[in-house]
């Protein structure tokens, strides 16, 4: 079913491709969800939490909650600076952490109205600096520089398309056994 708003059709394949491209380009992102009601993307990163015996060896390393605060502050400050450089209003963003067993899951929710590919890259760079080797990364096939540039351009074009179209499908993309999978959450049990 395709719907129209202001003459622009809902193209579900572009939304699916956007989620897939983000996951392929950024092996640090574990899941990405699109919510059409809030018109936002939620990107989830996973950070290993030190086990008790590891904590003794790395006393110099701050706890996950402290690092989360550092990450959130740097991300907000960097996005504010980025918006300032572009002369746009500051980004609508929410950041939260969920403790889950031996991992901390960091959720970054960002409206798609002004989201850019550069902001996603900035978020990943900041997470890498703050969490270091504790940031979980899918074993990547090492995209060469030309492939990264092509992926970046595709992501930016698909974000533009998403901004201009009416999207009605809740989508979730995640990694499963070395593959990227995207589901339409609007229809239970149906794969996009």
Is residue 191 helix, strand or coil?
strand
* Whole-Å CA distances, 18 to 32, 85, 96, 173: 10, 26, 23, 10
Please indicate, yes or no, if residue 22 is contained in any of the structural domains.
yes
171, 16 Cβ separation under 8 angstroms? yes
Q: Which residue has the tokens 């009601």?
A: 37
Please indicate, yes or no, if residue 101 is contained in any of the structural domains.
yes
Q: State both tokens at 98.
A: 């969920």
Tally of domains within the chain: 1
Please indicate, yes or no, if residue 114 is contained in any of the structural domains.
yes
pLDDT at 187: 57
Please indicate, yes or no, if residue 38 is contained in any of the structural domains.
yes
pLDDT at 189: 47
Question: What is the chain's pLDDT, residue by residue, as a tens digit (192 residues)?
Answer: 444 444 445 566 778 889 999 999 999 999 999 998 888 999 999 999 865 445 454 555 566 678 899 999 999 999 999 999 988 887 889 999 998 888 999 999 999 888 999 999 999 999 999 999 999 998 766 678 888 888 899 999 999 888 887 777 889 999 888 888 898 876 554 444
pLDDT at 100: 82
Three state DSSP letters for 47-93 = EECCCHHHHHHCCCCCCHHHHHHHHHHHHHHHHHHHHHHHCCCCCCE
Please indicate, yes or no, if residue 139 is contained in any of the structural domains.
yes
Of 20, 107, 120, 117, residue with least CA distance to 68: 107
Please indicate, yes or no, if residue 192 is contained in any of the structural domains.
no
Instruction: Please give the Cα distance from 111 to 138 (Å, whole number).
Output: 25
Predicted TM-score (pTM) of this structure:
0.83
Instruction: Please give the Cα distance from 108 to 18 (Å, whole number).
Output: 17
Please indicate, yes or no, if residue 189 is contained in any of the structural domains.
no
Please indicate, yes or no, if residue 190 is contained in any of the structural domains.
no
pLDDT at 7: 40
Q: 99 is in which domain, residue-wise?
A: 4-184
């Amino acid at each position: 079913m395709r719907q129209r708003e202001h003459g622009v059709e809902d193209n579900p394949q572009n939304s699916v491709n956007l989620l897939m491209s983000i996951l392929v380009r950024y092996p640090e992102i574990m899941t990405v969800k699109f919510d059409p009601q809030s018109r936002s993307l939620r990107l989830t990163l996973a950070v290993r939490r030190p086990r008790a015996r590891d904590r003794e060896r790395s006393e110099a390393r701050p706890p996950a909650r402290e690092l989360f605060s550092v990450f959130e502050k740097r991300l907000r400050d960097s996005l504010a600076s980025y918006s300032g450089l572009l002369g746009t209003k500051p980004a609508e963003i929410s950041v939260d952490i969920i403790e889950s067993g031996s991992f901390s899951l960091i959720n970054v929710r960002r409206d798609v109205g002004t989201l850019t590919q550069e902001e996603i890259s900035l978020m990943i760079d900041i997470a890498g600096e703050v969490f270091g080797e504790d940031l979980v990364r899918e074993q990547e096939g090492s995209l060469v520089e030309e492939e990264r540039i092509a992926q970046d351009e595709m992501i930016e074009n698909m974000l533009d398309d998403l901004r201009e179209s009416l999207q009605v499908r809740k989508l979730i993309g995640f990694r499963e056994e070395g593959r990227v999978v995207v589901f339409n959450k609007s229809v239970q049990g149906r794969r996009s």
